[in-house]
Chain A
Amino acid sequence: ETGVTQSPTHLIKTRGQQVTLRCSSQSGHNTVSWYQQALGQGPQFIFQYYREEENGRGNFPPRFSGLQFPNYSSELNVNALELDDSALYLCASSFSGTSGGMETQYFGPGTRLLVL
C-alpha cells in the first residue's frame, strides 16, 4: 500500500509569485484535504476535494485554489504569494463513501514553503 506523497519537499519563492504543490493520495482513497501549518500552530484546513470537486473550504482567500485529478491526486495553487504564506503545507487523503463521514485522514510529509 502506497502512502501519501507530496512534492516538492521544500520551496523558496518571492512575494507576488505563484506556486503549485502536488499530492498523491494513498491507494484506495478518493478524498484529498489540504492544510496549512504555520510555525507553532496546528494544521489549518484550507479545502477538501472529493470526486474532483471542492467539497468544503476553510477561511482562506480565493488566491488559494486546488484541483483533483481522476486518479485522485491533487494540486494546491497559491497566487500572489505573501510573506505570511510561509508555512508547512500538508496534504491528507481519506476514503469517503459519501460526501462526508467519520473517515480518518492520513497525512503526507508536507511541503515547506518559504516566501521572501
Chain B
Amino acid sequence: DQQVKQNSPSLSVQEGRISILNCDYTNSMFDYFLWYKKYPAEGPTFLISISSIKDKNEDGRFTVFLNKSAKHLSLHIVPSQPGDSAVYFCAAKPNTGNQFYFGTGTSLTVIP
C-alpha cells in the first residue's frame, strides 16, 4: 500500500524556468514532510522539509508547499538549473513512530 505517491515519473524543464514536483499522500497522521534529491550512484540528499503546522517553507531556490486538506505537497524550484537534474523523492513521517514513507521518485531533467 503506497501511502506516498509521486504520479509523475519524469519531468523536463528548460533552464531558468520553474520546476514543480508533486506528491500526494493518503495517511492523515503524517505531520512531517521532506524532499530528497538523488544523483546516480549516490544516496539521497536532504533538500527541504516542512511540518504540518506550516503551509510553506522556503530555502533559496527551493520552496515546499503543503495543502493538508488535499493531502498534497509540491516542491518548486526557481529558477531551474542543469545541476538540478536528478531524481526527487518526497517522504513523510507520522506523528507517532519512526518510519519515513517515501514516494517512488520523479526524475527531473533541466535542459540547458
A residues engaging B (CB < 8 A)?
4, 6, 31, 33, 35, 40-45, 48, 50, 55-56, 58, 90, 92, 99-100, 102, 104-110
Give Cα A31–Cα B99 distance, bound, in whole angstroms. Answer: 12
Interface size class of B (residues with CB under 8 A): 20 to 34
A-contacting 9-mer, from B11-19, B57-65, B74-82, B100-108: B100-108
Query: Which of B41, B42, B51, B89 meets A43, CB within 8 Å?
Result: B89
Q: How far is the CB of A109 from chain B (nearest CB, A)?
A: 5
Give Cα A44–Cα B91 distance, bound, in whole angstroms. Answer: 11
Contact of A43 with B102 in the complex, beta carbons under 8 Å:
yes
Q: Which of A4, A55, A92 has the most CB of B within 10 A?
A: A92
Q: How far is the CB of A96 from chain B (nearest CB, A)?
A: 8
Interface: B21 (CB within 8 A): no
Contact of A107 with B34 in the complex, beta carbons under 8 Å:
no
Interface: B112 (CB within 8 A): no
Contact of B44 with A56 in the complex, beta carbons under 8 Å:
no
Q: Which of A43, A50, A100, A110 has the most CB of B within 10 A?
A: A43
Residues of A within 8 A of B98 (CB): 31, 33, 48, 50, 55-56, 99-100
Contact of A56 with B97 in the complex, beta carbons under 8 Å:
yes
Given contacts A56-B98, A100-B96, A107-B44, 19 further A-B contacts (CB under 8 A): A4-B43, A31-B98, A33-B100, A42-B103, A42-B104, A43-B102, A45-B100, A45-B101, A48-B98, A50-B98, A56-B97, A58-B99, A90-B44, A102-B31, A102-B32, A104-B49, A105-B34, A109-B41, A110-B42
Q: A42-B89, A42-B105, A43-B89 are in contact. Are A105 and B43 (CB under 8 A)?
A: no
Contact of A102 with B51 in the complex, beta carbons under 8 Å:
yes
Contact of A107 with B45 in the complex, beta carbons under 8 Å:
yes
